[in-house]
């Protein structure tokens, strides 16, 4: 158990590697892991080649890519190509959100890529209940936990579990006549809420939380406490449902830490620009510094086709304020499964946002590449510039579409400032 080992001062080789990669003292990293403020997603069943990633306080902001099939579009080869591109362009983690096809095969194939890998087990449990029992809401608690353990045994490094939404929260919201423009937009949140309403029972992920912690402890899996009631419109942001769930999650974080289980907290969603920073500060305060994993957030609802831009705006602010992991969005969000090219666009937009935030959050530690590329521009060193870009192929293609020679680009040509001032 990584968290328990850190508390005792035991140092795994991978912790040394993360310390060197992040440029932080080993003692600092051990302390943050022992406090639960940094997590390292790596299932004990996972093979050695998996990329080592530290997520949390004092470290660079990481980016997650979602891939996976849907009930209307199942093409494993396309999902594998998306995963390949995501790894090529530097994703830190990857999640499989598949709901169509052979889910076990899809998950195991995607897990062959060497990055920390996450899933949402309730999707598979719900779909299997439809086949086995005729309706997803007939899923039993045993059905759900069998799927969770199967994912753990397969080597999944982190899982989203919607443990924070409770029967009481839903009932109180109904009694208060709480109305949202977009309703419940989390797929897992909708599944759990429908199950509770149909069965008139407590959320099994909340009711059996101690058992969930036992399983997570056995495999050293990071629990990502899902935001089942996240806002799906900027008009729903920071409402009663979102806040009630966050309060419950803050209690679940402490219970996990008591058992030595690594956790991170998931956040919204759709958030107006002026509420992004307060949302991050609230989570960090309530959850005592637990790593914060944000979907976007999107700062407007009108950007269909360009949601990767809307989310990058929110992600930059969130990162600067202390968010630890950004879940990318693609141009296809709200419209379609993304293509491999859209996965690349979404990933790069989120990486730009994460880095922009790190410049504020980490200062000089984050500025090394900015300094290097600025010096390369001053020297008109195009090869060096390309090597420092997030997308070297695209940068080179644009630079050379009108002019392939040495010297300036075609924006300024012979009036390039570095040519004018060169001899002076």
Region 196-222 average pLDDT: 97
CA distance 160 to 142: 18
Asked if residue 424 has pLDDT above 90, the reply is no
Q: Which helix (H) or strand (E) holds 224?
A: strand 222-225
Average pLDDT rounded to a whole number, residues 89-102: 98
- Boundaries of every domain in the chain: 60-365, 367-420
Residue 48: pLDDT over 80: no
Q: What's this model's pTM, rounded to 2 decimal places?
A: 0.96
pLDDT over threshold 70, residue 343:
yes
Is the model's pLDDT at 176 over the cut of 90? no
**pLDDT confidence tier of residue 340, bands split at 50, 70 and 90:** very high
128 backbone φψ class: left, alpha, beta (φ>0; ψ -120 to 50): alpha
Checking if the pLDDT of 423 tops 80, the result is no
Q: Is the pLDDT of residue 275 over 90?
A: yes
Region 48-59 average pLDDT: 91
Helix H or strand E segment including 265: strand 263-267
State which fold the 60-365 domain adopts: TIM Barrel (3.20.20)
Whether the CA torsion 149, 155, 158, 159 is positive or negative: it is negative
Give the tens place of pLDDT for each residue, 128-158.
999 999 999 999 999 999 999 999 999 999 9
Report the alpha-carbon distance of residue 342 to residue 40 in Å, rounded: 28
**Angle, CA 109 vertex, CA 106 and CA 111 arms, to 5°:** 105
DSSP of 145-207, one letter per residue?
HHHHHHHHHHT-SEEEE--S--HHHHHHHHHTT---SS----HHHHHHHHHHHHHT---HHHH
Q: What is the pLDDT confidence band of residue 351, given thresholds at 50, 70 and 90?
A: very high
In total, the chain counts a number of residues equal to 424
CB 234 within 8 A of CB 270: yes
Quick one: pLDDT at residue 22?
96
Q: How many degrees, rounded to 5, is the angle at CA 342 between CA 340 and CA 343?
A: 65
Which residues partner with 117 through β-bridges? Answer: 94
pLDDT at res. 47: 66
Asked if the model's pLDDT at residue 8 lies above 90, the reply is no
Q: What is the mean pLDDT of residues 233-247?
A: 96
CB 95 within 8 A of CB 117: yes
Cα separation, 168 vs 157, whole angstroms: 31
Q: Indicate if the pLDDT at residue 311 is higher than 70.
A: yes
**Residue from 128, 123, 53, 133 nearest 87 by CA:** 53
Neighbours of 142 (CB within 10 A): 10
How confident is residue 400, by pLDDT bands cut at 50, 70 and 90?
very high
Alpha-carbon distances of 370 from 359, 373, 389, rounded to whole Å: 9, 5, 10
CA distance 39 to 18: 11
Q: Where does the pLDDT of residue 76 fall: very low under 50, low under 70, confident under 90, or very high at 90 and above?
A: very high
**Distance, CA of 79 to CA of 338 (rounded, Å):** 10
Strands 38-39 and 55-56: antiparallel
């Amino acid at each position: 158990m990584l968290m328990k080992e850190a508390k005792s001062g035991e140092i795994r080789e991978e912790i040394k590697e993360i310390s060197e990669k992040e440029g932080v003292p080993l003692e600092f990293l051990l302390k943050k892991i022992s406090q639960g403020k940094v997590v390292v997603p790596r299932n004990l069943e996972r093979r050695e080649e998996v990329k080592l990633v530290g997520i949390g306080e004092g470290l660079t902001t990481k980016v997650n890519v979602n891939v996976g099939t849907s009930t209307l579009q199942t093409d494993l080869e396309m999902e594998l190509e998306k995963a390949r591109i995501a790894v090529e362009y530097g994703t830190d983690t990857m999640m499989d959100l598949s709901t169509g096809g052979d889910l076990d095969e899809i998950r195991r194939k995607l897990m062959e890529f060497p990055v920390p890998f996450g899933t949402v087990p309730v999707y598979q449990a719900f779909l299997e209940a439809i086949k086995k029992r005729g309706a997803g809401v007939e899923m039993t608690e045993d059905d759900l936990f069998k799927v969770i353990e199967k994912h753990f045994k397969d080597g999944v490094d982190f899982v989203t579990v919607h443990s924070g939404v409770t029967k009481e929260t839903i009932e109180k919201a109904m009694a208060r006549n709480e109305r949202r423009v977009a309703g419940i937009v989390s797929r897992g949140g909708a599944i759990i809420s429908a199950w509770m309403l149909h069965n008139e029972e407590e959320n099994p992920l909340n009711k059996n939380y101690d058992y969930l912690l036992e399983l997570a402890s056995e495999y050293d899996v990071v629990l990502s406490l899902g935001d089942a009631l996240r806002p799906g419109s900027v008009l729903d942001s920071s409402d009663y449902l979102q806040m009630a769930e966050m309060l419950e999650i803050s209690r679940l974080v402490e219970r996990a830490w008591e058992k030595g289980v690594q956790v991170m907290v998931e956040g919204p969603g759709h958030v107006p620009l002026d509420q992004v920073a307060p949302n991050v500060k609230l989570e960090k305060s309530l959850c005592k510094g637990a790593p914060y994993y944000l979907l976007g957030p999107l700062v407007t609802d009108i950007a269909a086709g360009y949601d990767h831009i809307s989310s990058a705006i929110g992600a930059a602010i969130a990162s600067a304020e202390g968010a630890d992991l950004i879940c990318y969005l693609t141009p296809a969000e709200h419209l379609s499964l993304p293509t491999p090219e859209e996965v690349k666009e979404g990933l790069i937009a989120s990486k730009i946002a994460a880095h922009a935030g790190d410049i504020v959050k980490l200062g000089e530690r984050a500025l090394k590449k900015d300094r290097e590329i600025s010096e390369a521009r001053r020297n008109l060193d195009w090869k060096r510039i390309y090597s420092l870009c997030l997308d070297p192929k695209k940068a080179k293609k644009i630079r050379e579409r009108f002019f392939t020679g040495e010297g300036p680009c075609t924006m300024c040509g012979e009036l390039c400032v570095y040519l004018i001032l060169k001899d002076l």
